[in-house]
Amino acid sequence: MKAHDALYIDGAWRPAAGHDTIEVVNPADEQVVGRVPAGTVEDVDAAVRAARAALPAWAATPPAGRAALIGALRDVLVARKDEIAETVTAELGSPLPLSQAVHAGVPVMVAGSYAELAATYAFEEKVGNSTVHHEPVGVVGAITPWNYPLHQIVAKVAPALAAGCTVVLKPAEDTPLTAQLFAEAVAEAGIPAGVFNLVTGLGPVAGQALAEHAGVDLVSFTGSTAVGRKIGAIAGAAVKRVALELGGKSANVILPGADLARAVGVGVANVMTNSGQTCSAWTRMLVHTSRYEEAVELAAAAAAKYADRIGPVVNAKQQRRVLGYIEKGVAEGARLVAGGPEAPRAQGYYVAPTVFADVTPEMTVAQEEIFGPVLTIIRYEDEDDALRIANGTVYGLAGAVWAADDAEAVAFARSLDTGQVDINGGRFNPLAPFGGYKQSGVGRELGAHGLSEYLQTKSLQF
């Protein structure tokens, strides 16, 4: 992997207007692995102009033509999957098998799904005496986080391109090398100049300039609720479309009849994977009082097995933040049964897989998104209590319900204020809409619902 000392604008790698750079650090060994330009307002402006210029021709390209190019992009992602996995490992620190299976593998699935959807989606429908055309919204400003660097990019760019939109991407400052690889893949796939543009840079500079740019019709943001609020305000003031994929504090609800060992095992894996840096992670495990101690023992044992298996968190700041939350949990009276607030290694930004028992719903560790390998286990007395606790945060992104059978789990899941629920260990579905209730966001990603975010309707009456 080689860092480009340039931005990808209008189909070419071009020097940035300024000279500032961003150092990319490997969080596993704290070594600098590359440097990329820190783009500025001028660079964002050049990229948005290129995207605008490319819009009419791309929007007019028949869906089958767009589908073929997204399919070609998918094929490049397949051909370069090892390089992608190594790059994600170098800048995010995730263990290589996780990078291969998830960080490189899932974007292939998602790009493939949009190659197919672009070819099959009903971009035109009849409603009574009207023909309704689903037209691209226009130029998309995409702002992405570092936790699933390529997935977050593909989950925006693939549907935007399928819809006929053009894109300017501002990726997270911690993981710009994966974004550069993606830009190389776009070029290799033969996607026309200006359809996709990349400006690496800092959030408050390049990200903010992109959200504010008058030439951007839709801002699609994934990241923290704090920044999402600002993006929403900027978009609202300019009356432009906005999609926000924000934080979560999801509940893993284990009803009394569930297979406890499986529910706890899958639940712990869900939280520890990617060192807890998953917005949809089930960081609150809710267990009936009759099986509480058994669940705590199972969870502590399961978490201990992750001690040598998880990677570091993304950077030193995130490590301090997560360790600070663990200290807060101890101070508020939660019982540590695995891990703790000491950094487990002298080098690298590691956090020990941590489990808190005797967590009450109002504790900070049960309310705020920690974004690290920290699981909280909360006791409930009956189903009403479980529901109150599960719905008792400002978030509503995901969750899980385990019960004696699917019907019982579904009945409970229907009362959850959340956008996605896994029933008795249901598998990830790249076509299912993903997104939040409440402060977890606005809009949906993935599948046909994700595609429709990038479309607007025009009705013709006859």
Residues taking part in catalysis? 245, 279
Half-sphere exposure at residue 37, Cβ-oriented, CA atoms within 13 angstroms: 24
Question: What gap in Å lies between CA 234 and CA 244, rounded to an integer?
Answer: 12
Q: Is 422 in the site for ligand NAP (CB under 6 A)?
A: no
Backbone region of residue 139 per phi and psi (left: phi > 0; alpha: psi in -120 to 50; beta: other values): beta
Q: Is residue 21 a contact point for ligand NAP (CB under 6 A)?
A: no
Least Å distance, CB 438 to ligand NAP, is 12
Question: Among residue numbers 438 through 457, which ones bind ligand NAP (CB under 6 A)?
Answer: 441
Task: Tell which one of 45, 217, 369, 408 touches ligand NAP (CB under 6 A).
Answer: 369
Could you tell me if 18 and 205 are in contact, meaning their C-beta atoms sit under 8 angstroms apart? no
Q: Which of 102/258 has CB closer to ligand NAP?
A: 102
Kind of pairing, strands 241-245 and 441-442? antiparallel
Kindly identify the residues of this chain, within the stretch 370-399, that bind ligand NAP according to CB under 6 A.
371, 397
Residues that bind ligand NAP (rule: CB under 6 A) add up to a total of 30
Contacts of 365 (CB under 8 A, 6+ apart): 325, 326, 328, 329, 332, 334, 356, 359, 374, 376
Rounded to 5°, the CA angle 248-253-257 comes to: 170
Smallest separation, CB 210 to ligand NAP (Å): 7
Per rule CB under 6 A, is residue 247 in the interface with ligand NAP? yes
Rounded to a whole number, what is the distance in angstroms from the first to the last CA of the chain?
A: 56
Q: Which stretch binds ligand NAP (CB under 6 A): 196-204, 323-331, 350-358, 454-462?
A: 196-204
- Regarding 267 and contact with ligand NAP (CB under 6 A), the answer is no
Q: Does 91 bind ligand NAP (CB under 6 A)?
A: no
Question: Residue 173 interacts with ligand NAP (CB under 6 A)?
Answer: yes
Is residue 172 a contact residue for ligand NAP (CB under 6 A)? yes
Stretch that binds ligand NAP, among 85-93, 139-147, 180-188, 347-355 (CB under 6 A): 139-147
CB of 324 to ligand NAP, least distance (A): 15
Residues with Cβ within 8 Å of 53's Cβ and at least 6 positions away in sequence, in order, are: 10, 194
- Residues numbered 142 to 171 that lie near ligand NAP (CB under 6 A) are 143-147, 170
**Cα–Cα distance measured from residue 359 to residue 336, given in angstroms and rounded to the nearest whole number:** 10
Report, in Å, the least distance between residue 368 CB and ligand NAP.
10
Residue 245 is a binding residue for ligand NAP (CB under 6 A): yes
How far is 71 from 241, CA to CA, in rounded Å?
27
| Whole-number Å distance between alpha carbons of 335 and 329 | 8
Instruction: Output DSSP code: residue 439.
Output: G
User: Would strands 354-359 and 335-338 be described as parallel, antiparallel, or unpaired?
Assistant: antiparallel
> Minimal distance in Å, beta carbon 97 to ligand NAP?
21
Write the DSSP string, 361-395.
TTSHHHHS---SSEEEEEEESSHHHHHHHHT-SS-
Q: Which stretch binds ligand NAP (CB under 6 A): 65-73, 180-188, 201-209, 266-274?
A: 201-209
Residue 177 binds to ligand NAP (criterion: CB under 6 A): no
Nearer to ligand NAP, 3 or 397 (CB): 397
Residues 114, 161 contacting (CB under 8 angstroms): yes
| Interface positions, 215-244, toward ligand NAP (CB under 6 A) | 222-224, 227, 230-231
Rounded Cα–Cα distance for residues 164 and 160 (Å): 6
Q: Among 27, 34, 138, 207, which residue sits at the site for ligand NAP (rule: CB under 6 A)? A: 207
Strand arrangement, sheet containing 335-338: 335-338, 354-359, 374-380, 284-288, 251-254, 399-402, 422-423
Q: Which residues contact 244 (CB under 8 A, 6 or more apart)?
A: 221, 222, 228, 231, 232, 441, 442, 443
Q: x/- binding map, residues 292-321, to ligand NAP, per CB under 6 A?
A: ------------------------------
Q: Please say whether the beta carbons of 258 and 403 come within 8 A.
A: yes
Q: Which of 56, 204, 257, 333 binds ligand NAP (CB under 6 A)?
A: 204
Looking at beta carbons only, is 213 or 379 nearer to ligand NAP? Answer: 213
Q: Based on CB atoms, which residue is closest to ligand NAP, 271 or 403?
A: 271
Query: Cβ closer to ligand NAP: 222 or 424?
Result: 222
Binding site for ligand NAP (CB under 6 A): 143-147, 170, 172-174, 202-204, 207-208, 211, 222-224, 227, 230-231, 245-248, 279, 369, 371, 397, 441
